[in-house]
Each structure stands twice: as C-alpha cells, then as structure tokens.
Chains A and B, each alone.
Chain A
Amino acid sequence: MSLTTRATFACGAILFTLYAPSTRAQNYPMQTPVPRSTDVPTLHAQAVRREIHERFRIGLDAEARGTWSSAAAEFERTVALNPPEPQGSTARYNLAIAYANLGRNDDSATQLRAAIALDPGFLAAMANLVAVDLRRGDLHGARIAADRFVNAAPDSARALYSRGIVALQSGDAQTAASDFGRLLSHNPQYAVAHYDLGIAEVRLGRNDDAEREFVTALALSPTYARARLSLGTVLLQRGDRSEARDAFDRAARDAAGDPALENLAVAMRDAVSTTR
C-alpha cells in the first residue's frame, strides 16, 4: 500500500471518528426537569396559574355558547385572582363582553376602562368601549374613547367609523365628514361610509354633496334602503316630488326586512302623494 493510500485511509478514519456519532444517531435534548417544590408560596402560585388557565378556557367556551352568566362568573373569578399581563387586561375585556350581553353596560364600560389602563395599546378594548358607551347613551364617554382609538390607530377603519358615528350622534357633523372621508380614502367601495358621509353633508347644508354620496352608496349597493330613503328626502327638499316618491316607494320595497324603515318609507311616499 502506497504512502498516499495510507494517508487517505488515515484521514478517513479520523473524519469518521469525529463526525460519525452525530450522523448515525439523532440527538434528543434532555428532558426539562419537572419543577418540584414543597415551598408553600411556590405551590400556591402554581395553583393560581392553573386556576387562571382553566377559568379562561371555561369562560371562553361559555362565551362561544352564549351562556353569558357562566362566562361572567368565570372571568370575575379570574380578575379577582389578579393575573399578570396579558391575562389581566384580556380577562377584563372578556368580562366586559359578558356584561354587555347581560345588559350590564355600566359594568362593561368599567371593565374595558380597566383593561385599557393595564394595556394602553389595547385597540379591541377601545373599539368595544366606544360601542358600549354608545349603548349606554354616554356620548361624552364614547367621544373620549373614540378620540383615543383614532389617536392610537389613525388609519383603522373601525376607529374612523366609530368616531364618525359618535360625532353624527352628538351633532359634530364636521368631524363626522372628516372621518368618513378618511375612511373612504382607503375604502371607496364601502357603501355605508358613503351613506354616513351623505348624512354629515346634509347636516352641513351641502345637499348636492349629500346627493352624490347617496347615489354612490346606491351604485355600490342598489338595495340599500336607508340610502334610497335619504336620497328621496334630498330630492324632495329640492322639489323633485315625483322622483322622491319613486325613491320612497323603492325604499319601502327594499326595506322589507326592517319594519321601522319600511313604515317610514311608506309614510313618506303617502305623504308626498297626498301633499301638494
């Protein structure tokens, strides 16, 4: 055997010795040792963590089933255990949803404010706080929450929509027009925003702009009864009684699933027909 051949075999043997174990057998990490303690505070903390985890699971299942009383009980207990973040703010958020569905809107708003205090960037909690404050009829609180929501997420469609609705309900048509305009800059196909922008324009005395928005909303959603009704009203105010009557008639037909809107459209159609 030549010297070169011997050297080659020797190198091969060395390489095999170095690398063979890792290529022939897969390595498994050592098992993480099970934490064991007889220390009472440690055992108590473990039990609390376990209880929080289980109550979250049961509470979420209850909310998925719509059994709000059970859900509220689970999350009340979870909040009482004072869990760390993100569980603390999340438990309060979920408790607020259960309360809102039980008609306890004041308690719901309190929990949502507590959730935001724990997690100041919690957008979903801000969104729900606006909705709950509107249900409570607290327009001032809703506006504060909506302003915070828009400041935290200036491009959020829901933030702009929420503040626009609050502004319309509280008589601030200028802010409403601005917010729905910004919402439409990213979502020109969203018919509802065109409708609400039209409402803001009416309140600002710009009926021509309003009419354009209602027409756009109807082009995007031809059976949008509320937009048809508003368009008819703008036409009526302009003196186009025949077109207005047709619009009210069509709105009454398209609003078949909404008795209040249907009755309003029928009443307006009949009023136009009888008034000269």
Chain B
Amino acid sequence: MDVMSRPLVNRILMLLLLAGAGFGFSIAYANAPSLDALTANAFLPSEAPGLLAPIAETGRIGWACHPEKAAESRTASTADLPGTDAPALSTTASR
C-alpha cells in the first residue's frame, strides 16, 4: 500500500484550511449589513408615550388628578413624556 508523503499531506491540509477560511470570509462579507440598510435604521422615531397612572374614585376632575393634568399640560416636563435616555414614565406615577 502506497503511503502519501508528509509534505503532500501538509500541502493538502493547508489548501483545505485556506479554502475554508476563504469560504467563511465570503459568508461573513455577504452577511455584513450594508451601509444603506444601517442608515434606514438610524432614522427611527423616539418611543411612544407610556401609560398615564390610575385615577381615584372621585374621577378626573380636580386639581389632584395627576394623570388628567399630565394629559392636559402644555409643558412637556409635566406631561409624563419620554426623555432622551429613559423610557417613558409608566404607571408608577401618583394618582
């Protein structure tokens, strides 16, 4: 039985490794997101507003009804709106 010489085996292994690396690189390159696709994701609106808090039995009329005041307010800082780095305030606000 003929035995392949060691240099030949090494060359074949090297070729196989190079082919594998090339294949992997081509797969990675093909799957890399294009700049155009990334750009489309960059222009997304900010978060939707969160839910306003529950209201007591006496209803929405009155100075103490925080959710109704927040809904009515013309000032963003008292309207329970999203901030620049935090999600919208949720149902933890006072009622």
Contacts and interface: CB of A to CB of B under 8 A. Distances in A.
A192 B42 contact: no
B48 A135 contact: yes
Given A157-B79, A203-B43, A264-B38, A124 B71 contact: yes
A232 B70 CA distance: 34
Interface string A114-137: 000001001110111011101100
Interface stretch (A1-9, A11-19, A92-100): A92-100
A162 B38 contact: no
Interface in A149-196: 149, 153, 155-159, 161-162, 165, 168-169, 176, 183, 186-187, 190-193, 195-196
A134 B48 contact: yes
A233 B39 contact: yes
A258 B87 CA distance: 11
Contact of B76 (A149, A161, A226, A236): A161
Nearest to A134: B48
B38 A192 contact: no
B59 A156 contact: no
Contacts of B26: none
A67 interface: no
B76 A94 contact: no
A149 B70 CA distance: 13
B56 A236 contact: no
Contacts of A158: 49, 70-71, 73, 79-81
Question: Which size class do B's interface residues fall under?
Answer: 35 or more
Interface in A219-235: 221, 223-227, 229-230, 232-233
A87 B60 CA distance: 10
Given A157-B81, A257-B85, A226 B38 contact: no
Interface string B24-52: 00000000111100110111111011111
Interface of A: 52-53, 56-57, 60, 63-64, 85-87, 89-90, 93-94, 97, 100-101, 119, 122-124, 126-128, 130-132, 134-135, 149, 153, 155-159, 161-162, 165, 168-169, 176, 183, 186-187, 190-193, 195-196, 199, 202-203, 217, 221, 223-227, 229-230, 232-233, 236-237, 257-258, 264, 267-268, 271-272, 275
Given A85-B59, A124-B68, 15 more contacts: A57-B57, A90-B59, A90-B60, A122-B68, A123-B72, A124-B60, A124-B65, A128-B52, A157-B73, A176-B45, A223-B85, A224-B84, A227-B84, A230-B43, A233-B42
